[in-house]
Amino acid sequence: MNVAAAYPETAKPGANMVVEDRERHLFRVARRAFTDPTVLEEERRQIFDRCWLYLGHGSEIANNCDFVTRTVGGRELIFNRDRGGAVHAFLNTCPHRGATVVRESKGNALSFRCFYHGWSFNVNGRFASRFDEGNYGKDHYEGGCADLQQVARLENYRDFWFVNFDANAVSLADYLAGAKDFIDMVADQAEAGMEVIGGGQQYIIKANWKLLAENSVDAFHGFPTHST
Ligand code: FES
């Protein structure tokens, strides 16, 4: 088979991306599946805007007013616990003119303040600046239009917190289905419960998410690449 001909550059995302020949144990994926921005954009709309996505573990925000910031499904998010201990997920985007509100990766704060024009928000997301006669007039701020925007859905299983950008998505419990058994295996390893500690690993790759996933399950590269 002429593989090059099977991956015409003008094809729509998803078209002719995969060539599979089970008889020959042949499975090939077009390289642009890993690099073409239009493919990633389509994946964001079809997959990441609809599926439950892991945000973080409750132990990462153990205390009231703890927060971490994270990019999930292409969106910058604040994962935090408010003064009463309730867990939230907000878009880390100022409702005023779209600046990033929280610029630290983690911390503990009684409020968030956007550096651009100084709007402040309580850690429950409510607009907290006192602009009674402010730039837009008192009524402008009524109705929550100046609050941080909550992610459409936020649910947890065993203190593993997930977000969904689709308000009409099925429940997290239904979505996880049998995968809950594997989360149970992880969460039940110690009677004291589990805690996420330490830092994280960050990857920078000139490709979209699939290349990292592909590399992570590629056991064949272990000996030659990781000789230590
Ligand atoms: S963009 Fe945040 S206060 Fe203006």
Please give, one letter per residue, the 3-state secondary structure of 108-146.
ECCEEECCCCCCEEECCCCECCCCCCCCCCHHHHHHHCC
Tell me the average pLDDT across 170-195.
94
Does residue 180 belong to any structural domain of this protein? yes
More confident: 181 or 215: 181
- Whether residue 228 lies inside any domain: the answer is no
The rounded percent of the chain whose pLDDT value lies above 90 is 68
Query: Mutate which of 92, 97, 100 to test ligand 1's pocket (most atoms within 8 Å of Cβ)?
Result: 97
Could you tell me the pLDDT band of residue 47, with boundaries at 50, 70 and 90? Answer: very high
pLDDT value at residue 131: 65
Is it the case that residue 143 has pLDDT exceeding 90?
no
Give this prediction's pTM.
0.85
**Does 8 fall in a domain?**
no
The count of domains in the chain is: 1
What residue owns the CA closest to ligand 1's atom 3? 117
Pocket of ligand 1 (CB under 6 A): 94, 96-97, 99, 114, 116-119
Backbone angles phi, psi at 127, to 5 degrees: -55, 130
Share of the chain above pLDDT 70, in %: 91
Contact between 122 and 111 (Cβ < 8 Å): yes
Q: What is the pLDDT of residue 121?
A: 96
Kindly state whether residue 15 falls inside one of the protein's structural domains.
no
Question: Of 12-16, 66-70, 120-124, 181-185, which gets the smallest average pLDDT?
Answer: 12-16
Mean pLDDT within 198-208: 82
List, for residues 128-140, the tens digit of each pLDDT value.
Answer: 887 655 567 777 7
CB environment 11-22: b (16+ within 10 A), e (fewer): eebeeebeeeee
Evaluate whether residue 106 is within a structural domain: yes
Q: What does the alpha-carbon distance between residue 53 and residue 162 come to, in Å, rounded to a whole number?
A: 5
98 domain residue, yes or no: yes
Q: Residue 144 — very low, low, confident or very high, per pLDDT cuts 50/70/90?
A: confident
> Has residue 196 been placed in a domain?
no
Start-to-end Cα distance in the chain: 40
Within-domain flag for 153:
yes
Q: 59 lies in which domain range?
A: 54-187
Question: The domain that contains 171 carries what CATH number?
Answer: 2.102.10.10
- If you take atom 4 of ligand 1, which residue's CA is the nearest one? 117
Token pair in block for residue 103:
């610029």
Mutate to test the pocket of ligand 1, among 119, 141, 147, 148 (most ligand atoms within 8 A of CB): 119
pLDDT at position 193 is: 86
The whole-angstrom separation of Cα 168 and Cα 152 is 9
List Cβ<8 Å contacts ≥24 apart for 89-94: 89/55, 89/150, 89/151, 89/154, 89/161, 89/163, 90/125, 90/148, 90/149, 90/150, 90/151, 91/148, 91/149, 91/150, 91/151, 93/149, 94/119
User: What distance in angstroms lies between residue 107's CA and the mean position of ligand 1's atoms?
Assistant: 21
- 93 C-alpha to center of ligand 1: Å? 9
Which pLDDT band, with edges at 50, 70 and 90, does 8 fall under?
very low
